[in-house]
């Protein structure tokens, strides 16, 4: 974990409530896709955990949803402004487990971290398939970016205004055979993917956090491998350890 | 006079290089922070509240943000005293070489007695901090600390079985904290620490429901500082035993105010969660801040603001 100041280079809207922020700073502690950073926002007490969309050579890209006062303030920030960020948080995805034909499934604000993962898997020579689930056509983002990496992309929307109507699990059949499942999104979606997927997999969870680095026990969850902290031992859990509670 | 001597304090007979103590529940067993800086620069730290059995704690969400502070309803998640002794303390000793403060919690008088007497035998433990003030568990914790007679009986019972200095951690969720402080002093406490968190809640407006799964949680962080300072001042003016002050401390200035109010040492909680280097930064800032206010050594200002 590292604390450093990042400078905003770009902060633009991707949809009506999804923003993309590109920053420059020290990205050396970001070692795996699926990790997150914790952003201190002026006037907010707790930092905001945000997944890493991409990190290369001192350039950090965050894609975030405007959900409350903290992210509203972030959305109003302009190039040149600085942010205090803790980097290198969370375990991230293990790309070694992918096999030749990994299937990546993201829902809503769970889509962004899959980008860095897809990029690494494509670079490794995998045949990558991605399913992106959204509520409606106006919520869709990053389809083209995944395609540009060379991944095969399916889009689903709940109301059918873009891609296939329904949920992400509805297009598993079309997606063909796959060797490993990577997923990130809201818990009901993760659960549906877990029940539909026939392979081993890695699932990234979200929880309200205090510190983001394993000190406060705010984001604990039960697993078959014992109690874990989503922020430090997660956010990625392997399929065989997951316990569904709620 | 060297910098170390300027910051030196003595808490219940044990010398400390400085009065800075990360508060229980915000510092684990130290080793997450040992990866970030040498935690031996601390006066000591208070480890996570330990109970007889392992506890998962409350359902999530158990954290909520507030203006200048946070609510937590962790509910004493800890691996239980056996695992703390067998697993956590040996790991802690690799990175921390000073006497540690052992935070003990419980749900019955028996449990407080048993956990305290076992922890007391550990070499690395300097002080026992008896938490009779956790607001996030039912049927224990705060129930002992909000009634003078039950506070007195639990302290008496624990006092009989422990040799180490016994510091009793008090709840601010009472009508008269001075009365409780006097009761635990009379029962044999060697010190008191205060404040634990203030009972609070938030509502999720979209769901029209309490935000925390536990409904209520403990409020702490910068916002509670004036309340905590007032209570430290009142208690320090009424008891003869040392007072450890905490609640909302986030700067070297706050430390000095707490000590002037009567604190011998100062704990820092929530601030560690926003800035993991907070305690190191405060220790580094103390000499310069003392110079600014014409303070030569910290122990000379303890209770300076008392009438
Ligand atoms: C996440 C969290 C967990 C806590 N857990 C404990 C605990 O296990 N035992 C205890 O005595 N106090 C616990 N506390 C209370 C703190 O030790 C401290 O009394 C309180 O937070 C006030 O200080 P602060 O404003 O600096 O945070 C906890 C506080 C927080 C924020």
B131: domain CATH number is: 3.20.20.70
If you measure CA to CA, which chain B residue comes closest to A216? B26
Cis before A238 (ω within 30):
no
Among B56, B66, B273, select the one facing A227 at the smallest CB separation. Answer: B56
Q: Which residues of B are catalytic?
A: 134
C-alpha Rg value of chain B to the nearest Å = 18
User: For residue B191, what are its two tokens?
Assistant: 């010190």
> What whole-number distance in Å separates Cα of residue B172 and Cα of residue A79?
45
- Over residues B35-67, the pLDDT tens digits come to 999 999 999 999 999 999 999 999 999 999 998
ipTM confidence = 0.92
Q: What is the per-residue pLDDT for B138?
A: 67
Q: Which domain holds residue B29?
A: 3-301
Q: What's the CATH superfamily of A2-89?
A: Translation factors (2.40.30.10)
Percent of chain B with pLDDT over 70: 97
Numbered ranges of CATH 3.40.50.80 in chain A: 95-204
- Over residues B4-32, the pLDDT tens digits come to 589 999 999 999 999 999 999 999 999 99
**Does B27 contact A at CB distance below 8 Å?**
yes
Q: Are A129 and A101 in contact (CB under 8 A)?
A: yes
For helices B177-186 and B148-161, give the axis angle rounded to 10 degrees: 30
Among B63, B67, B276, select the one facing A209 at the smallest CB separation. Answer: B63
Mean pLDDT of chain B: 95
Residue window 213-272, chain B: list those with CB within 8 Å of chain A. 221-222, 270, 272
Among A211, A220, A221, select the one facing B273 at the smallest CB separation. Answer: A211
More confident residue, B149 or A95: A95
Is residue B190 in some structural domain?
yes
Total number of domains in chain B: 1
Residue ranges in B74-187 assigned as alpha helix (H): 81-83, 89-95, 109-120, 142-145, 148-161, 177-186
Q: What is the per-residue pLDDT for B147?
A: 87
pLDDT under 70: residue ranges of chain A:
246
For residue A211, the chain B residues in CB contact (below 8 A) are 26, 272-274, 276
How much is the average pLDDT of B285-303?
Answer: 97
Closest CA to A170 of A142, A140, A143, A193: A193
Strands A82-89, A102-107: pairing kind: unpaired
Instruction: Check B57 against A44: CB less than 8 A apart.
Output: no
Is residue B306 in some structural domain?
no
Which atom, in ligand 1's list, is nearest to the CA of B70?
31
Answer yes or no: is pLDDT of B2 > 70: no
Numbered ranges of CATH 2.40.30.10 in chain A: 2-89
CA distance A216 to chain B (A): 5
CA distance A85 to chain B (A): 10
SS3 content of chain B, % helix, strand, coil (to 5): 35, 20, 40
Is residue B121 in some structural domain?
yes
CATH of domain A95-204: 3.40.50.80
Q: What is the per-residue pLDDT for B145?
A: 81
If you measure CA to CA, which chain B residue comes closest to A217? B74
The pTM (predicted TM-score) of the whole model is: 0.95
Q: What is the per-residue pLDDT for B4?
A: 56
User: For residue B111, what are its two tokens?
Assistant: 């449990």
Q: What is the per-residue pLDDT for B92?
A: 97
Is residue B307 in some structural domain?
no
Instruction: Check B72 against A216: CB less than 8 A apart.
Output: yes
Q: What is the per-residue pLDDT for B1?
A: 44
- The CA distances from residue B5 to A123, B16, B43, B290, B302, in Å, are 58, 10, 12, 13, 15
SS3 content of chain A, % helix, strand, coil (to 5): 20, 35, 40
- The CA distances from residue B117 to B3, B75, B142, in Å, are 37, 22, 20
Instruction: Check B273 against A216: CB less than 8 A apart.
Output: yes
């Amino acid at each position: 974990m590292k604390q450093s100041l990042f400078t905003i280079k770009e902060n633009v809207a991707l949809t009506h409530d999804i923003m993309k922020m590109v920053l420059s700073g020290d990205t050396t502690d970001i070692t795996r896709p699926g990790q997150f950073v914790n952003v201190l926002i002026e006037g907010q007490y707790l930092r905001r955990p945000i997944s890493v969309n991409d990190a290369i050579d001192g350039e950090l890209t965050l894609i975030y949803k405007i959900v409350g006062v903290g992210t509203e303030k972030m959305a109003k920030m302009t190039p040149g402004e600085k942010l205090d960020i803790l980097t290198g948080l969370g375990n991230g995805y293990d790309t070694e487990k992918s096999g030749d034909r990994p299937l990546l499934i993201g829902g809503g604000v769970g889509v962004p971290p899959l980008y860095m993962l897809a990029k690494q898997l494509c670079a490794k020579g995998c045949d990558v398939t991605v399913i992106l689930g959204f509520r409606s056509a106006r919520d869709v983002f990053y389809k083209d970016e995944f395609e540009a990496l060379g991944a095969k992309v399916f889009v689903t929307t709940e109301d059918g205004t873009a891609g296939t109507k329904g949920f992400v699990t509805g297009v598993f059949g079309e997606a063909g055979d796959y060797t490993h499942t990577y997923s990130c999104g809201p818990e009901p979606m993760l659960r549906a993917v877990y029940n539909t997927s026939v392979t081993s997999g890695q699932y990234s969870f979200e929880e309200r956090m205090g510190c983001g680095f394993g000190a406060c026990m705010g984001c604990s969850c039960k697993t078959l491998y014992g109690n874990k902290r989503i922020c430090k031992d997660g956010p990625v859990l392997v399929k065989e350890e997951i316990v569904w509670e709620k | 006079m060297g910098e170390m001597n300027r910051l030196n304090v003595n808490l219940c007979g044990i010398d400390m290089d400085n009065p800075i103590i990360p508060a229980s529940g915000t510092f684990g067993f130290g080793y997450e922070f040992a990866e970030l800086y040498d935690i031996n620069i601390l006066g000591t730290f208070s480890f996570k509240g330990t109970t007889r059995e392992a506890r998962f704690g409350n359902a999530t969400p158990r954290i909520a943000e507030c203006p200048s502070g946070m609510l937590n309803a962790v509910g004493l998640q800890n691996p239980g005293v056996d695992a703390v002794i067998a697993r956590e303390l040996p790991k802690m000793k690799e990175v921390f070489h000073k006497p540690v403060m052992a935070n003990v919690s419980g749900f019955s008088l028996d449990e407080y007695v048993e956990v305290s007497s076992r922890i007391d035998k550990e070499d690395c433990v300097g002080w026992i901090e008896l938490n009779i003030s956790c607001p996030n568990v039912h049927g224990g914790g705060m129930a002992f600390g909000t009634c003078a007679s039950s506070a007195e009986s639990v302290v008496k019972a624990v006092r009989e079985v422990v040799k180490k200095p016994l510091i009793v951690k008090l709840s601010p969720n009472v009508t008269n904290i001075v009365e409780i402080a006097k009761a635990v002093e009379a029962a044999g406490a060697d010190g008191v620490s205060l404040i634990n968190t203030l009972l609070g809640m938030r509502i999720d407006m979209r769901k029209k429901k309490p935000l925390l799964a536990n409904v209520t949680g403990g409020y702490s962080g910068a916002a509670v500082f004036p309340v905590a300072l007032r209570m430290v001042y009142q208690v320090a003016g009424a008891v003869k035993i040392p007072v450890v002050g905490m609640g909302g401390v986030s700067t070297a200035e706050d430390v000095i105010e707490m000590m002037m109010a009567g604190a011998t040492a100062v704990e820092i909680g929530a601030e560690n969660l926003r800035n993991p280097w907070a305690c190191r930064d405060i220790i580094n800032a103390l000499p310069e801040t003392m110079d600014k206010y014409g303070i030569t050594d910290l122990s000379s200002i303890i209770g300076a603001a008392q009438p």
